[in-house]
Amino acid sequence: MDSVFWLCEAQLESIKPFFPQSPGLSRVDGSKVGSGSIYVHVTACALVDAPAAYGPHNTLSNRCRPWWEMGVSQVLFSELV
């Protein structure tokens, strides 16, 4: 799967509560991380192989891995269905 996948606005709104809120540092756009997480999960590619459109692979790794380990990704998928 070489095309980039993006969540629509309604989907982003439904999973927005799972994005961390940071008063200090500016964060990579949640739509990039959310869409990138779905892309990596669906394609089973390594995080480092995700398209650059989803942001730095370190950011994807730092945000996605905890979601996967805590089971948040399953909640995200159920919210999106």
Check: pTM over 0.75? Answer yes or no.
no
Residues 80 and 11 sit within 8 Å (Cβ to Cβ): yes
Question: What is the identity of the amino acid at 64?
Answer: C
Residues 37 and 67 sit within 8 Å (Cβ to Cβ): yes
Sequence ranges of the domains in the chain? 9-80
Across the range 18-38, mean pLDDT stands at: 71
Joined together, the tokens standing for residue 2 give 């070489």
Which tens digits make up the pLDDT trace of 46-58? 989 999 998 888 8
